[in-house]
Amino acid sequence: MSDSEKGGKSEKSNQSQKRDRRPANNAVSAAFSELVTQWERNFDALANQFMGTETYSQAMNDMQKAQLGMQRNFADFMSRQLETMSMPTREDVVQLTELVRQLDRRMERIEEKLALNDRPARKTKRPARTRTPQSVSAAVSIDDPGAKEQNPVAQKAEGPTRGTDK
């Protein structure tokens, strides 16, 4: 159990006590939430207006190119130093990794072919692939007439939606 889970449980009784006198707090919380939403909307709109200009795009890309240039020069310098010291460069390590991967893939293919010849029976029984939407609705109407309208997962899912999008 993680620390947060432990903490969460020990606080639950405190929370329920606090929730009893939440009406005033709820109003404050709602106002705060609305304030944050408004601020977020306005800030994003303003920033997007600025960042959506050609000037911004040019400046951002120029800056990125300058950073990449420095990165490239440093990599070249390091590569030369490592060569002088007879040490493998990053490029060498990458090439070596690729070779190992190729061997790995070749091994995998051989193993697959061998496995095809000696495949064990499935351990677990798979369900029949006979389900139809009609069979589902029929089962629902017999067992529980109200269940068709329910979505237990949807009912269980609660929590934040705003602010979750990338």
Partner 1 sequence: MSDNNQQSGGLEAQLAEAQAGVRSFVEQAVARGQKGLALANASPQPVGLTSKEVLYARGTLRLYHYAAQTDDVYRVPVLLVMATTNRAFIFDLAPGRSMIEYMVQQGFDMYVIDWEAPTMAERGLTLKDYTQDFIPTCIEKVQEDSGEEDISIVGYCMGGVLSLIYAATHIEGPLKNLVCLTTPVDFHQTGLPQVWNDPRYFDVDYLVDTVGILSAESVTQMFEMQRPAQRLAGQLRLWDQILDDDYVDNYRAFNRWGEETLPLAGEYVRETTKELNWGNKLYTGELMVDGHNANLASVTVPLLSVVAEHDHLAPRDSTKPLLDLVGSEDKAEILLKGGHVSLIAGPNAAKRMWPRLNEWLSVRSV
In the complex, minimum distance from the CB of residue 80 to partner 1, in angstroms, rounded to a whole number: 17
For the chain, the straight-line distance linking the first and the last C-alpha, in angstroms and rounded, comes to 29
Q: Which helix (H) or strand (E) holds 92?
A: helix 90-117
Asked if 26 interacts with partner 1 (CB under 8 A), we say no
Q: How many residues bind partner 1 (CB under 8 A)?
A: 73
Sign, CA dihedral 40-43-49-55, equals negative
Q: Are 104 and 115 in contact (CB under 8 A)?
A: no
Q: Decide if residue 3 touches partner 1 (CB under 8 A).
A: yes
Nearer to partner 1, 23 or 145 (CB): 23
| Helix ranges restricted to H, 52-89 | 54-84
Task: Report the residue number, 21 or 145, with the smaller CB distance to partner 1.
Answer: 21
Binding of partner 1 by 118 (CB under 8 A): no
Alpha-helical runs (H) found in 21-53:
22-51
- Nearest approach, Cβ of residue 117 and partner 1 (Å): 15
Choosing from 23, 86, 120, 162, the residue that interacts with partner 1 (CB under 8 A) is: 162
What distances in angstroms separate CA 114 from CA 4, 102, 146, one per listed residue? 48, 19, 52
11 binds partner 1 (CB under 8 A): yes
Residue 145 contacts partner 1 per CB under 8 A: no
Q: Which residue has the tokens 């795009």?
A: 57
Under rule CB under 8 A, which residues in 64-103 are in contact with partner 1? 64-65, 68, 71-72, 75, 90, 94, 97-98, 101
Q: Which of 103, 105, 106, 111 binds partner 1 (CB under 8 A)?
A: 105
